[in-house]
């Protein structure tokens, strides 16, 4: 099989490509990524010499390019997105452009070239915010996005589902909870806080820090994406999470303890507008129908993740300074 992965230079995309090439050594992977600030080809150093892997720099909104690439593949794993909520509050334009229009272009290409298999990677944020006693999100939870990022992802999910019902495009969708693990851009909470603590900077906890997220290791998420592709029932949605609800302040204290810093480094700052209070996911459908289960415990996953960031300080520094962009120029002439 030859698959087109979009957004393969980002956090989840690069972890997915490395996992996929290892799990399916006979398959070919084409990585289409426009290399926004979040795209980092250094994440893929391990596979860049692999003859089964090809990188194409370009946007999923470029119709001609996308139609050309989709023609030659058997399946599409659509991971590319603008992914950071805070950025979507500053400017929602790129979120609509990439997450909605880009998805539509990919769907049109998949349809035009004989209804290619399409897996869409989405988020639990499309379901909105839970109260303390609400039951976790599942595949039947109504959509209720509350920030421009989640609204754009919700729109993309609806489009993908509509191509199944209207055109018979063979799709699956996965909605995953908060990921952590290696190669996450240090703007998201866990890598940002580790980087700041290491640099002796205070960590900005939004509002009262009582918001809850359901954390899952990226290694478990990418196995889930592959399981959807291999075993998912067409037209179906699968939720991935780890029954691992943690309050932001508790997580911050845990990170401080693991990095060996002091709780004096906590700084409460103005809350994120529209900040979702609680996410929680019920992944029983994925357990039962895909045979998928998380393998990492939060304890070992977090410890490994911190060890990875501490052992890869240069990667973090190059992300924070922007020096990682030099790698594209040197290696690929981009």
> What residues are annotated to the active site?
124-125, 149
Residues that bind ligand DAU (CB under 6 A): 83-85, 123-125, 177-178, 188-189, 192, 204-206, 211, 213, 248, 272, 279
Per partner kind, with CB cut-offs from 5 to 8 A, the member of ligand NAD, ligand DAU, none near residue 6 is ligand NAD
Q: Tokens 């609204």 belong to which residue?
A: 151
Per partner kind, with CB cut-offs from 5 to 8 A, the member of ligand DAU, ligand NAD, none near residue 242 is none
Cα–Cα distance between 176 and 225 in angstroms, integer? Answer: 10
Half-sphere exposure of 30 (CA within 13 A, CB side): 20
Cα–Cα distance between 89 and 150 in angstroms, integer? Answer: 11
Q: CB under 6 A: which stretch of 5-13, 111-119, 196-204, 266-274 binds ligand NAD?
A: 5-13
- What's the farthest any 2 CA atoms get from each other in the chain? 59
Q: For residues 13-32, which are near ligand NAD according to CB under 6 A?
A: 13, 32
**Going residue by residue from 60 to 99, which x/- string records binding to ligand NAD, judged by CB under 6 A?**
xx-----------------xxxxx--------------x-
Half-sphere exposure of 154 (CA within 13 A, CB side): 16
Using CB under 6 A, pick the residue from 5, 34, 69, 290 that binds ligand NAD.
Answer: 34
State which residue, 87 or 116, has the beta carbon closest to ligand DAU.
Answer: 87
Q: Are 6 and 77 in contact (CB under 8 A)?
A: yes
Instruction: Tell me which DSSP letter residue 101 carries.
Output: I
Work out whether the CA dihedral 237, 241, 247, 249 comes out positive or negative.
negative
Q: For residues 120-159, which are near ligand NAD according to CB under 6 A?
A: 121, 123, 153
Residue 84 in tokens: 């950071």
Q: Are 49 and 118 in contact (CB under 8 A)?
A: no
Binding region for ligand NAD (CB under 6 A): 6-7, 9-13, 32-36, 38-39, 59-61, 79-83, 98, 102, 121, 123, 153, 176, 178-179, 185
């Amino acid at each position: 099989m030859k698959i087109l992965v979009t957004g393969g230079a980002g956090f989840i995309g690069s972890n997915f490509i490395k996992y996929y090439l290892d799990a399916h050594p006979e398959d070919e992977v084409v990585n289409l990524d426009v290399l926004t600030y979040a795209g980092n080809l250094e994440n893929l150093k391990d596979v860049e010499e692999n003859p089964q892997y090809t990188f194409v720099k370009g946007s999923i909104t470029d119709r001609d390019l996308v139609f050309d690439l989709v023609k030659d593949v058997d399946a599409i794993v659509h991971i590319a997105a603008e992914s950071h909520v805070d950025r979507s509050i500053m400017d929602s334009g790129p979120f609509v452009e990439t997450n909605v229009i880009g998805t539509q272009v990919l769907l049109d290409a998949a349809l035009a070239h004989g209804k290619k298999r399409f897996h869409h990677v989405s988020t639990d944020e499309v379901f909105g915010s839970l109260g303390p006693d609400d039951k976790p999100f599942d595949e039947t939870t109504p959509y209720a996005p509350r920030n421009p990022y989640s609204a754009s992802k919700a729109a993309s999910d609806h489009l993908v589902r509509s191509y199944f019902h209207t055109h018979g495009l063979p799709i699956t969708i996965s909605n995953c909870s908060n990921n952590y693990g290696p190669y996450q851009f240090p703007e998201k909470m866990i890598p940002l806080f580790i980087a700041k603590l290491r640099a002796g900077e205070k960590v900005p906890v939004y509002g009262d820090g009582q918001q809850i997220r359901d954390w899952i290791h990226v290694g478990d998420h990418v196995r889930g994406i592959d399981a959807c592709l291999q075993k998912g029932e067409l037209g179906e949605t699968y939720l991935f999470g780890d029954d691992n609800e943690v309050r932001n302040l508790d997580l911050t204290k845990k990170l401080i303890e693991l990095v060996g810093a002091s709780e004096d480094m906590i700084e409460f700052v103005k809350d994120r507008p529209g900040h979702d209070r609680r996410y929680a996911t019920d992944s029983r459908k994925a357990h039962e129908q895909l045979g998928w289960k998380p393998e990492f415990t939060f304890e070992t996953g977090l410890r490994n993740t911190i060890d990875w960031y501490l052992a890869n300080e240069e990667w973090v520094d190059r992300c924070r300074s922007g020096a990682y962009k030099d790698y594209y120029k040197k290696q690929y002439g981009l």
